[in-house]
Structure 1
Amino acid sequence: MAQGAWLIDEETRQAILAPIDDSVGIDGREDEGDAGELLRDIRSQRKALIRQEQAAAMGESPADEGLDWDGLSTQAQDYLSRFGKDLEPMAALLEAQVRIDGPLGLAEAMTLLADLVEAFWDRGLYPAEDEDGVETRFQPLSGVSGGSSDRDGALIQPVRRMELGRAGGESLRYLDKVKADMLMASAQIGSPDQKAAKTDEADAAYRMLEALARRISRADLEGTAQALGEAEASWRRAIGFISEQTKPRFPAASKLSDELQAIREWLGSLIAKSPEAAGGRDSANESAATAEAGESPALDGQADSAAMLSGRIGRREDALRAVSMAADYFVTHEPLSPIGQTLREVDRRARMSLHDYLAELIPDESARDDFYWRSGIRPPSQQAYGDTSYGEESE
């Protein structure tokens, strides 16, 4: 796994987790001095960096403003160390670290987030509650995940784009898997020839990704999977702690949780197909820990495959992997049969969150909201969780 040269050093980490004058420090939103100025700089630099990425994605030449994610990371760490314990600069640090150091940076920042929440939530971790209620306090975390069924949080795309492994100048990224999945889903629409062409294109994309993964050392892929497991476990730890304090109101966290789990499971399936996998089990595959329990999850590998082959399915992941394997078989050996694509659709939908599934099943938002109300569930559109701006004031 490719690693950046810029990780949070232990001295800075300890400073971030240490009280400021035996408290959480000051609120930069209400400060006219250095703290307020630095918080405003963090906001403006983050917005400028996002604009640069969006311009580059559209093939435009982004304006050279002399900004980078390393600088934003430094500023966020400085704020958390010297001025205030605050989820808004912490969220900016998450965004920066995933871009700087990929899975390792994400795992490190997520662990820091969980430790920060546990150390300072009960002491008044900022943002402070306001007229909008307790949701204001965890809004920065809802922003990085995304709360509405049709809006991704600030971390979803960076997580999809991060490099999971590299071989021969090519990078393995989950974003390419997402694109292949979308292509396969689109193959359900159109004439038979159009469907066949899209299916062939999607299958070719899947094969290219698997071929690339086979050229990456298994040790590198396992290291990446371990980092992803740590990131997911720490994210769930932070959200779980907050949820216990704020129920029945909760951060909108499931999108990011589901995304990290999906990436980890996909990477596990690639590891299981690695040429080096035939040598036997390793300790990571034998681990029974799961991220849902707040621990680093085991990799999906030989041990799990053996359990499935013997006919024993003990976990949801095993069941879905069996469906995926069956889909691969029918697509490869019975390409004219609808079974393979049907099973892939089953696998895809089984991994969706409830809100995403209903958004696909009931496209009309008003009809979907009516379904929620009739089911006794508050619609996501009625919960102001989806703002990816961390709750800052409009400029």
Structure 2
Amino acid sequence: MTISTTTWESIASPVSRDQACGEDLRLDEGSSRLLYHIRHLRHQATSEERQVATGDVDKSALQTRWKEIFSEVVELLTTRSKDLELLTYLLESALRLDGFDGLHRCLNSVTHLVVNHWPDLHPCTDRADDELRIRHLNGLNGIDGDGTLLPVIATTPLLGAPHTPAITLSRYLRAQDTTGSKSKRDERQDVLDSIKSDAASVSSEIVQASREAIDLATNAFKELDEQLTSRSHAEFFTSAIRGRLQGCQEAFAYIFGSPPLPLESPADMTLPEHASEDIAGSTEPEPDDSADNTVVSVHANTADAQLDSVRSRQQAMDSLVEIARYFERSEPHSPIGYAVRQIIDWGNMKLPQLMEHLIPDAQARDTFFLLSGIPTPRDSELD
């Protein structure tokens, strides 16, 4: 389902000229029934989702249920009330119906309302109690347990276009699990290989659009966090959702590769004016021996400092740990940090252990040990 731009615009627009945020549905018995109805629909939908795994509920029927919730919530937000509880249900349904693109656009609408109408967003009967006002939004992340949006993010297809079987964060994490018996690990490795094989057949246009949707959703959530935190007196809990969205970025980068670097523009490649004159054959300036000596000296000193800074294997390994931490912190979507971590793990293994890790086939591994003269782990234990 693709949600139209006009839908998002209507949600962000004022309810009326006199009351931008409309009425509080909780203050009138007739209006409150509308809110109870939405809650009931959502409760039914989430209950049915838990039954999907057993095959008791048809997935298409479940989608219809969430479409109904989305439609009725949009109607209330547009014509009756700008309400934080309704916005929470809107976020839940938008992600389910339109994936990360829907989440991104919905987050933008919520942020717009927070920025422009925060004091008047309902419920606002007691403006001092912001904890009560944002409790439904906090339920998305969870405070003492998992929030309602976390499993939805994990099971949302990473690709915007239909793909069977769906490539999701949940499926990727299960395939990456290294616990259990060897047969279980081999089985999960087969799944991971299958995921990467499936990914190879996806067009670059779909990959790029899907990557952008996840990145935009991640950035939109950060923006909502900043805007709401600056206005609310209560804490807005976000760490779990941030981590889950970051996990989606990392999984996408692992499966489909890192995004290509932007090409240099012609302006970046233009030679400076004096350089083009030199190429054309202008008279070269006399070399400055003192300047050359200074440059050579600086380069030599820098190289010596780099060589002298690492004096032991442990110091080198510690430097690799720092490098891994840097990339994990500054480029969490990049595989570089994980690759360096893998090198560190391998570097801490004894050679027989490393060979067991790199050559999973026992017969091929034993042949390698025999021909190379490397003792097997069993031989090492006997020694």
TM-score with structure 2 length normalisation? Answer: 0.66
Aligned partner (choices 202, 205, 211) of residue 216 of structure 1: 202
- 2:74 is the alignment partner of 1:57: no
Q: 8 Å contact 1:172–1:209 — kept in the other structure?
A: yes
Higher helix share: 2
CA change 1:229–1:61 in 2 (3 A) is closer
Given candidates 164, 169, 173, the residue that maps to 1:178 is 173
Partner of 2:253: 268
C-alpha offsets along residues 292-319 of structure 1, whole Å, 9 cap, x if unaligned? xxxxxxxxxxxxxxxx9xx896662548
Take 2:6 and 2:32, find their aligned partners in 1: how far apart are those partners? 26
What is the root-mean-square deviation of aligned Cα atoms in Å? 3.5
Contact 1:52 1:62 in 2 (8 A): no
Per-residue deviation at 1:327? 5.6
In the alignment, structure 2 segments of 5+ residues that lack a partner are 264-319, 359-383
State how far apart, in whole Å, the 1-side matches of 2:125 and 2:241 are. 24
1:129 Cα deviation after fit: 6.2
The residue number in structure 2 matching 1:10 is 6
Kept in 1, the 8 Å contact 2:15–2:79? The answer is no
Which structure 2 residues correspond to residues 1-395 of structure 1 after superposition, within 5 A?
A: 4=1, 6-10=2-6, 13-20=9-16, 21-33=18-30, 35-61=31-57, 68-122=65-119, 124-128=120-124, 133-148=129-144, 151-165=145-159, 169-181=164-176, 183-184=177-178, 186-187=179-180, 194=181, 196-247=182-233, 249-272=234-257, 281-282=261-262, 316-318=329-331, 321-326=335-340, 336-337=353-354
Tell me if structure 2 keeps the 8 A contact 1:25–1:83.
yes
Q: Percent identity?
A: 20
For the structure 1 residues 160 and 137, does the alpha-carbon distance in structure 2 shift closer, same or farther, using more than 3 Å as the test? same
Pair 1:324–1:199, CA change in 2 (3 A): farther
Q: Which residue of 1 aligns with 2:271?
A: none
Return the offset for 1:337: 3.2
**In terms of Rg, which structure is larger?**
2
Q: What residue identity is the alignment partner of 2:135? A: Q
**Residue-by-residue CA offset, 1:166-213 (whole Å, 9 max, x unaligned):** 6773321111012224x32x34xxxxxx2x333323322322222222
How many Å apart are 1:115 and its aligned residue? 1.1
SS at match of 1:325: helix
Unaligned runs of 5+ in 1: 188-193, 284-307, 342-395
In the comparison of the two structures, how many residue pairs are matched? Answer: 291
Change (3 A) 1:156 1:340: farther
Higher-RCO chain (CA-CA 8 Å, sequence separation at least 6):
1
